[in-house]
Amino acid sequence: MYKVVRRRSLKPTVTQIEVEAPLVARKAKPGQFIILRVDEEGERIPLTVAGTNPDEGTVMVIFQVVGATTEKLNRKMEGDYLQDFVGPLGNPTETEGIKKVCIVGGGVGCAIAWPVAQEFHRIGAEVTSIIGFRSQDLVILEDEFDACSDRLIVMTDDGSYKREGNVTVPLRELLEAGEKFDMIITIGPLIMMKFVTLTAKDFNAPITVSMSPIMVDGTGMCGCCRLTLHTEDGDVTKFACVDGPDFNGYEVDFDEAIARGRTYFDYERKQHDHVCNLIKQADELKANA
């Protein structure tokens, strides 16, 4: 069992927790992930490591309430326990030889991008961070990005905060102005990463994407996280859990990944609504007790 030692609500549907997991805390690096189960009957879900404290033996993860499992996870308070917390899994983000990097994060994907930006800042690279959200109400980790970025650009789709537009707008402006990055790293919704990749392609700029598809075992055996890469030697199948989660953006078949990512959408929506209704009924009973 793994104890939740700290909990912070970043937004109504976005929560940050720190979990007591000393072995994971000593080994995890930016870009890697863990797989957890909330309880004995729970499904396994992957969450990227958002930070570690090896001295305290804790691991931070940030998640958005989007389905039944994250709804259950969100009800865990400080002092409660999780059934399983396995990791670190996947490969750390490659930093060697990169002196100038552009980090492009979208939505809750910024929780994954933030430790990556921190690591590049720590090793002395020049960090430009572009983070985007649908609206001001959904902006997270702005101060944290500001602390580890030489330049920070915040975008909102509706213009309710900072600049209006999506993350490809300032990225294109920078590239058109002659900016040369050793690497662009984008982390966020698949559709966002697809268009960030297309923007980078117009300038032949190197780009890495962080893929977090459906996973079950996290060891490459179940095949749920398989991706098709279009390489110079032909199409190849890779597994995000063991071969990634970082890949060359130009090689990823985004359309296939997006289609597969929607496979369980309707089922998950029904499960989420079912859990919410049970919670609502329980709360009503408590209120009337």
pLDDT over threshold 80, residue 88: yes
Look over the chain and give the mean of its residue pLDDT values, rounded to a whole number.
88
pLDDT of residue 273: 56
Share of the chain above pLDDT 90, in %: 71
Structure tokens at 72: 């259950």
What's residue 258's pLDDT? 87
pLDDT band for position 276 (cuts 50, 70, 90): low
pLDDT of 157 higher than 90:
yes
Angle in degrees, 0-180, between the axes of helices 254-261 and 190-201, rounded to the nearest 10: 170
Contact between 62 and 10 (Cβ < 8 Å): yes
pLDDT band at residue 267 under the 50/70/90 scheme: very low
Task: Report all structural domains of the chain as residue ranges with CATH numbers, in order of start.
Answer: 2-89 (2.40.30.10), 100-261 (3.40.50.80)
pLDDT for the residue 199: 97
The reported pLDDT for the residue numbered 237 is 92
Lowest mean pLDDT among 110-119, 186-195, 267-276: 267-276
pLDDT at 184 over 70: yes
Residues 187, 104: contact at Cβ < 8 Å? Answer: yes
What integer is the mean pLDDT of 91-113? 94
Average the pLDDT over 162-182 and give the result.
96
CA–CA separation, 52 and 24 (whole Å):
9
Q: What is the pLDDT of residue 283?
A: 58
Given the structure tokens 């902006």, which residue do they identify? 139
In this prediction, residues 70-86 reach a mean pLDDT of 94
Average pLDDT over residues 101-116: 93
Residue 12 tokens, joined: 């109504």
Residue 124 has pLDDT above 90, yes or no: yes
Confidence (pLDDT) at 137: 92
124 vs 284 pLDDT, higher one = 124
